[in-house]
Amino acid sequence: MKYVFILLFAVSVFSCKNEKELKSQRTSSSKKTSTDSLIFPEEKHFKSIKQITFGGDNAEAYWSFDDQQIVFQSNNKNWNVNCDQMFVMNADETFESKIPPMVSTGKGRTTCSYFLPDNKHIIYASTHLGGEACPETPMKKDGKYIWPIYDTYDIFVADLKGNITAQLTNEIGYDAEPTVSPKGDKIVFTSTRNGDIDLYTMNIDGSDVKQITFELGYDGGAFFSPDGTKIIFRSSRPKTESEVAEYKDLLSQGLVQPTEMELYICNADGSDLRQLTSLGNANWSPFFLPDGKRVIFSSNFEAERGFPFNLYMIGIDGKGLERVTHSETFDAFPVFSNDGKKLIFSSNRNNGGGRDTNLFIAEWQD
């Protein structure tokens, strides 16, 4: 469900927030550098950049543990899918005129894949046990932007030929958004099994499930730190009585409203939980930098109309906020390679002014 956010800027309008001070110079420039037409002039952390998909909506791209392969989801109609399915590619490939291998069933809707440590299997969430057709995707209710929380999502293991080898969850309700610790021992995921939307951890084989967040609200999009000791995630937590009532009403209908989200950080067992950002609007898709001391994430907190979304960095102490990208539309889902040398992310840049969201790999420099 992290992926649906790609459509956010096109279908919703946010209230204007107070702008926060950044270390980097703010700009609305749309000019690119002459040396690399995909990099905006202010994007100093990108040494080079390469576009690897060319059509449809492509996102949630994650590296294998050896950095040789990438798994991602796409709804590219030219790849014979009607809604999000999982695809795998070699890290040095591009897919402009050919179709990458699909590693999901092609049935239902899928989300949030991730490699397992053996580099030969992936985990992902799918609704296919609830029906082979793509479930409907409501985007608005009473004029407000919403996400559906499909109760038919479960988490599966598949090999790179698309054969399902295990089912890790079978509880009633939403089980999705799994990611794997760099240590290779744990999975963190989001579930509604307790009646709310909280984070849980489990072993790689699905055993020893433990709830690690407990406060009312949608906790999701979680990732481990490079040493596996911490977890970063985004949450929309209602505070006022009316917000709580609205949240519970939507949740009873299998819906959430994710327009106000902040980042939270905790230990891998859920202890020492604290709010990391207080920027306003939507702050989400966080991922640790290789040093484990900073987090990169997507946000529209500077936006007056709900977009653009750009990438930012912040220290895990809440200090040192810095803007990374300078797009006028959408940059999100940043994920570092395990060797820390490359960043893959999704962007609307170079799409001819359309709505396609493609994958880009940038060489990172501090």
For range 322-335, the mean pLDDT: 96
Q: Answer whether 119's CB lies under 8 Å from 136's CB.
A: no
- Which helix (H) or strand (E) element contains residue 334? strand 331-336
Residue given tokens 């958004």 in the structure block:
177
For range 252-276, the mean pLDDT: 95
The string of pLDDT tens digits covering residues 31-43 is 444 346 899 999 9
pLDDT score, position 35: 45
pLDDT score, position 18: 35
pLDDT for 9 beyond 60: no
pLDDT for 100 beyond 50: yes
What percent of the chain clears pLDDT 70, i.e. is strictly above it? Answer: 90
φ and ψ of 261, to 5 deg: -140, 140
Q: Which CATH architecture has domain 3-364?
A: 6 Propeller (2.120)
pLDDT score, position 6: 46
Task: Supply 68's token pair.
Answer: 């040789």
Residue 249 to residue 239: CA distance in whole angstroms: 15
What's the mean per-residue pLDDT of the chain? 90
- Beta strands in 110-181, from DSSP E residues, in sequence order: 110-115, 121-126, 140-141, 144-145, 147-148, 154-159, 164-167, 175-180
pLDDT score, position 139: 76
pLDDT score, position 168: 98
How do the domains of the chain map onto residue ranges? 3-364
The string of pLDDT tens digits covering residues 215-227 is 999 999 999 999 9
pLDDT for 313 beyond 50: yes
How long, in residues, is the chain?
Answer: 366
Residue 61 to residue 78: CA distance in whole angstroms: 19
Q: Answer whether 233's CB lies under 8 Å from 225's CB.
A: no
Beta bridge partners of 256: 147
